[in-house]
Amino acid sequence: MYYDIKIPDKKTRPIYCYNYRYKNVSDVVEQYSAFHLPYIHIISSMIFILIIFLAFFFTGCEKNPVNGGETSYTNIIVLVEDESGNPISGVHVTTIPPTVETYTDSTGRAVLDSVLVREYRVIAVPPNYQAFIQDVALKANELQQVNFVLVTSPPQVSITQPVQNQFIPNTNITFSCSAVDIDDGELPDSVIVWYSDIDGELGRGKSILVDSISQGSHNIKVKVTDSSNKTSQDFIMITAFYYNAESYFPLPISANWRYRHLSTVFTVPNASGVTEYWTIDDTYVYIDSRQRRISTINYTIVVGLKSQIVRYKVIDNFEFADNNIYVTKTLEQITIWTDRAQTSSANEVMDIETIYTPRYLLLKNVFNPAATESPSGTTGASSSPTVYSAE
C-alpha cells in the first residue's frame, strides 16, 4: 500500500509542491518531521518572546522605572532668571522623555503638572538663545524645582549725530544714535536717554530735536537700559554757540589776531623814582570754543640788573540777548616770572574777576549795524581780586 503525500519544495515553498509516494505512514512522518524541524524552532522562540512581553506589560507598567516601586506622580517647577535675578518669560519648557510642553510666565516660572516619578532631562529654550538642559531624578511626594540662569548681553549704543568735537549752533539741534539689544530686539524710545553735563536731561529716543542748549562746551551722553537693567552709554564733546547769519554773531571761533607795535619799548618811573624799561614782546587776541574773547600781552620789565617777564591776560564773557551783545564777566590775570627763560613756575599770579551789574552793552541792535550805538556806561561793577605767590 502506498501513500501519496504533497510536500512543499524547500527552495520555493509554498508556491511549488511535489508528490512523494511512501509504503507506510512511519516513513511519511519521518520525512515530514525532518523537513519542518526549522519551523518548529522559530515558532517556539516567537511564543516565548510573546509570553515575556505580556508578563512585563501586565506586571511592570505599574512599577516605578527608577526604584521599581508603585507608580507615583509629582510636579516640576522650572524657574528661569537672568544673572541679576530678573524673571525671563516666554521660555519654552519640555522634557525627555516627553511629559508636558509649556512656557514660563511673567514670574519666569513654568509648572509641569503630574509627571511620573522617574529620571528626566528638562529642557528650557529662551527666545534667541540656545537650549538649557538639566537632568533630574524625581522622588515620590517631593516637589522638584529646576533653576536656570540666563546670562544676557548688554545693549549697544553709539552716537551718530553730532560728531565728536563738532561746533554747532545752540538751537534746533538733532541728536541721533544707533541702539541694539540682542535679547530684547528693538528698544523703545523710553529707555534711550540723552544728557548734557550743563543742561541735564535733553530728551529720550533714538533721534531727538532739542530747541536750544546753553552756549559753551558740552559733554553729551546717551544711555540705554534693556529689560535686564543692563546699561550702555556713549559720549561726545560738542561746542554750542549762538549763530545768526544776519548778525555779528557768532564770533569766529578759534580766530586770532596778532598785533604789531610801532614802538615796543618805553620807560616808566616807579614809586621809588627808579626808571623801569618796559618792552612789549607780543600782543594777540583769540576767540575760544566758548566764544570768549581772550586778549594777552607779554612784556618784559628791566630795573637795573633785575628783570621780570609779565603776562597780562583779559578774558571777556559775552552774552547775546534782545539782539544785543553784552559783556557779563571779565577775568584779568597777571602772571610774573623772574626767570627770563620761563623754565620755572611763575613767581606771582594775580586774578581779578569782575561781574558786571547790569551787563556791559558792547553792541546794540546787531541786526542793523547802521543803528548801532556806542557802548553805554557800566554801573555797579564788582571786582574780587585774588593775589597769591606761586610756590
- What would the pLDDT profile of 257-268 be if each residue is shown by its tens digit? 888 888 889 898
pLDDT higher than 70, residue 341: no
Q: Regarding predicted confidence, which is higher, 180 or 368?
A: 180
pLDDT tens track for 359-384: 888 877 766 544 444 444 444 444 44
Contact 77, 146 (CB under 8 A): yes
User: Given the DSSP bridges, would you call strands 144-150 and 73-82 parallel, antiparallel or unpaired?
Assistant: parallel
Return the H-helix or E-strand segment holding 109: strand 109-116
Instruction: Read off φ and ψ for residue 169, nearest 5 degrees.
Output: -65, 150
| pLDDT of residue 219 exceeding 70 | yes
What is this structure's pTM?
A: 0.45
Mean pLDDT (whole number) for 87-105: 91
Over residues 25-34, the pLDDT tens digits come to: 444 444 444 4
Which range has the worst mean pLDDT, 132-141, 246-255, 304-313?
246-255
Q: What integer pLDDT is reported at residue 7 of this predicted model?
A: 45
Q: Are the beta carbons of 91 and 80 closer than 8 angstroms?
A: yes
Position 165 scores a pLDDT of: 87
The grid cell for 351 is 586774578
First-to-last C-alpha distance (Å) of the chain: 147
Whether 323 contacts 366, CB under 8 Å: yes
Amino acid at 124: A
Please tell me the predicted confidence (pLDDT) of residue 263: 86
**Which amino acid is present at 130?**
Q
Question: Residue 228 and residue 161: Cα distance in Å, rounded?
Answer: 27
Nearest-5° Cα angle at 56, 50 to 62: 150
The residues pairing with 231 across neighbouring beta strands, listed in sequence order, are: 225
Q: All 3 cell numbers of residue 334?
A: 597777571
Whether residue 284 contacts residue 290, with contact meaning beta carbons closer than 8 Å, is answered with no
C-alpha cell at 275: 626808571
Measured between alpha carbons, how far is 260 from 33 in angstroms, rounded to an integer? 136
Query: Nine-digit cell at 201?
Result: 536731561
Statement: residue 44 has pLDDT above 60: yes
Tell how far CA 150 is from the center of its chain.
Answer: 18
Structure-block grid coordinates of residue 55 = 508578563
SS (H, E, C) 159-207: EEECCCCEEEECEEEEEEEEEEECCCECCCHHHEEEEECCCEEEEECCE
